[in-house]
Amino acid sequence: MARYQAGDFVAARALINRISPALHRFLNAQCTSVADADDLLQEVWLRIHRVRQTYRRGKPLLPWIFAIARRVRIDHYRKSLRSTMREQRWDELSATATDSLTQPQPADTLDELLAPLSESQREVLEMLKVAGMSLEEVARATSSSVGSVKQKVHRAYRKLRQSMSLVELRKGQTGVVP
Amino acid sequence: MRDAEIDEALDRAAREPHQVPGELLKRIGESIGPSLEPVRPLPPTWVLTGALLLIGVAVALAFAARAGIHGFEALNVPARVAIFGALAVLTCLAAELLVAEWTPGSPRLSTPAGLLAMASVVLFGVFALLFHDYRVDHFVSAGIACLLTGLACAAPAALLGLWVLRRGWAVNPVTAGLVAGVLSGLAGVTLLELHCTNFQALHVIVWHTLVVPVSAGVGAILGWFVQRGRALSSRAIR
């Protein structure tokens, strides 16, 4: 990052190649299509490029990058929410939500695993598990305290435990009933 | 289902490779390439915090030098220590949080809403303990005059503070505006404590304390407009 700030193009490319997969996965969770996530990734890097002077050498890099990515994602979410509200009626939304709650599916990919979680719980787990950040780094990236992050993780695990147990139960039932 | 099993499932899913198209990475590299010039990183947090503190004090003193420090002269020593001690601590906390708000990925000692609540409660408590004249002469007219004087001092303090932080980037413009409002509002309260000789308890408790939340509210509203502007500009990029 220090070399990127010094204007080294090779270092900038290396950083983009190294961080982009985790960032893309982080952004993908809220996008309706891969093309949307691609656009968002590009926007994140443009934003990072514009504010690269705000990174201080010697400080952890991932919280800085994810704090920016999180803000781009929030802006995008608000924008898409506004357009979705215009297009979709409330009753359709609630019907979709009820379907997804009553018909749990076996989860294999990270997106499916984290589907039952709220947005804030999901982003905390993504940062911890996908980006490999520590609790303190997640707290920095989300502008909150370590205690608040721990609480979100605790609640997320409780919800995941319920959801995964339900899936196991359904699996067992379908195995018994001919 | 145990936590260890959930951990294992999450780790397994997170290990799955996630590919980003090479063409996209190349495009991102090319888009930033032409404007890739060396940049100077932001100064350390303590330098920016110190600069914000100096600005707050300097603006309050400049206004007080013009208007007179009659309030300070009329206060006894314990009251001076309590009021200006509390203002100094709150201003330090606000300056530190404002620098954190303008630097992505910074650790924070408190939240913006927590800071606003703490500043309001501490000022309310200190004023309630020190002032015991419960008359209410010209409550509204004298109060509005003090409120406007405090806000008039807060405005240049906020502008100069933003000039110090011009190379930073507010992750959340609304909360950054709120904290900037708290900090500049505290400069306004400092001016009022130096200048105002109206020691009626309700006047000081209500109108002097009110400078901070009003200033914070104005800051948050301006931050909201900045946020809207940012959303529009990002839409234009895409």
Amino acid A99: pLDDT:
46
Chain A residues within 8 A of B36 when measuring between CB atoms: 7, 9, 12, 49
B85 pLDDT above the threshold of 90: yes
Q: DSSP labels for chain B?
A: --HHHHHHHHHHHHHS-----HHHHHHHHHHHGGG----PPPPPHHHHHHHHHHHHHHHHHHHHHHH--HHHHHS-HHHHHHHHHHHHHHHHHHHHHHHHHTSTT---SS-HHHHHHHHHHHHHHHHHHH--B---TTHHHHHHHHHHHHHHHHHHHHHHHHHHTTTS--SSHHHHHHHHHHHHHHHHHHHHHHH----BHHIIIIIIHHHHHHHHHHHHHHHHHHHHHHHHHHHHH-
Please tell me which of the candidates A9, A13, A21 has its beta carbon nearest to residue B20.
A21
Asked if A127 has any chain B CB less than 8 Å from its own CB, the reply is no
Measured between CA atoms, the residue of chain A closest to residue B2 is A161
Residue A36 has what pLDDT?
A: 81
**Across B117-121, B175-179, B230-234, least confident range:** B230-234
**pLDDT one digit per residue (tens) for chain A, 178 residues:** 888 888 888 889 999 988 888 888 888 876 667 778 888 899 999 999 999 999 988 889 999 999 999 988 888 877 766 666 666 654 554 444 444 444 444 455 677 778 888 888 888 988 888 788 899 999 999 988 899 999 999 998 888 888 877 776 776 666 544 4
Which residues of chain A are in CATH 1.10.1740.10 domains?
1-87
Compute the distance between CA of residue B14 and CA of residue A28 in angstroms, rounded to an integer: 14
Contact between A145 and B13 using a beta-carbon 8 Å cutoff: no
How many C-alpha atoms does A32 have within 13 Å on its Cβ side?
Answer: 6
Structure-block tokens of residue B30: 């090319």
Distance (Å, rounded) from C-alpha A8 to C-alpha B89?
42
Backbone angles phi, psi at A103, to 5 degrees: -120, 75
C-alpha separations of A160 from A13, A105, B9, B94 in Å: 37, 13, 11, 38
pLDDT of residue A110: 73
Nearest to B1 by CA among A176, A143, A158, A34: A158
Tell me the pLDDT tens digit for each residue of B147-165: 999 999 999 999 999 999 9
Residue A171: per-residue pLDDT: 64
pLDDT of residue A105: 46
Output the six-digit token pair for A11. 């270092």
Say yes or no to pLDDT of B108 above 90: no
Entry field: residues in chain B: 238
> What are the domain boundaries of chain B?
3-35, 46-237
pLDDT tens profile A32-72: 677 788 888 999 999 999 999 999 888 899 999 999 999 88
Q: Smallest Cβ distance to B36: which of A9, A21, A51?
A: A9
User: How distant is the Cα of B75 from the closest Cα of chain A, in angstroms?
Assistant: 39
Which is higher by pLDDT, B31 or B54?
Answer: B54
pLDDT for A102 equals 44
Question: In this structure, what DSSP letter does residue A20 have?
Answer: H
State whether residue B39 sits within 8 Å of chain A by CB.
yes
With 0-12 / 13-18 / 19 or more C-beta atoms within 10 angstroms meaning exposed / middle / buried, residue A23 is: buried
- The C-alpha atoms of residue B196 and residue B68 are separated, in whole angstroms, by 9
Dihedral sign, CA of B185, B189, B190, B191?
positive
Task: Write out the residue limits of the CATH 1.10.10.10 domain(s) in chain A.
Answer: 104-178
Nearest to A53 among B20, B42, B238 (CB): B42
- Answer yes or no: is pLDDT of B215 > 50: yes
Phi, then psi, of B200 in degrees rounded to 5: -70, 130
Of A20-24, A66-70, B189-193, B214-218, where does mean pLDDT reach its minimum? A20-24
| Complex ipTM tops 0.85 | no
Q: Which residue in chain A is spatially nearest to B106 when comparing CA positions?
A: A140
Asked if A105 has any chain B CB less than 8 Å from its own CB, the reply is no
- Which ranges of A51-145 does DSSP label H, i.e. alpha helix? 61-87, 90-102, 110-114, 119-129, 135-141
Q: Domain A1-87: which topology?
A: Rna Polymerase Sigma Factor; Chain: A (1.10.1740)
Q: How far is A97 from chain B (nearest CA, A)?
A: 23
- Name the class of domain A104-178: mainly alpha
* pLDDT at site A21: 87
pTM: 0.84
- B228: pLDDT strictly greater than 90: no
Task: Tell me how close the Cα of A160 comes to any Cα of chain B, in angstroms.
Answer: 7
Average of per-residue pLDDT across B99-107: 92
Tell me, yes or no, if B229 comes closer than 8 A to chain A by beta carbon: no
Q: What residues of A are in contact with residue B13 (Cβ under 8 Å)?
A: 107-110, 113, 129
Minimal C-alpha gap between A90 and chain B (Å) = 25
Confidence of residue B145 (pLDDT cuts 50, 70, 90): very high
- pLDDT-derived band of residue B1, with 50, 70 and 90 as boundaries? low
CB atoms within 10 A of CB A124: 27
Show the tokens assigned to A19. Answer: 């961080």
CB-defined contacts A:B, below 8 A: 149
Flag whether residue A38 sits within 8 Å of chain B, measured between CB atoms: yes
What gap in Å lies between CA B150 and CA B156, rounded to an integer?
11
* Of the partner residues B33, B38, B41, the one whose CB lies closest to the CB of residue A55: B41
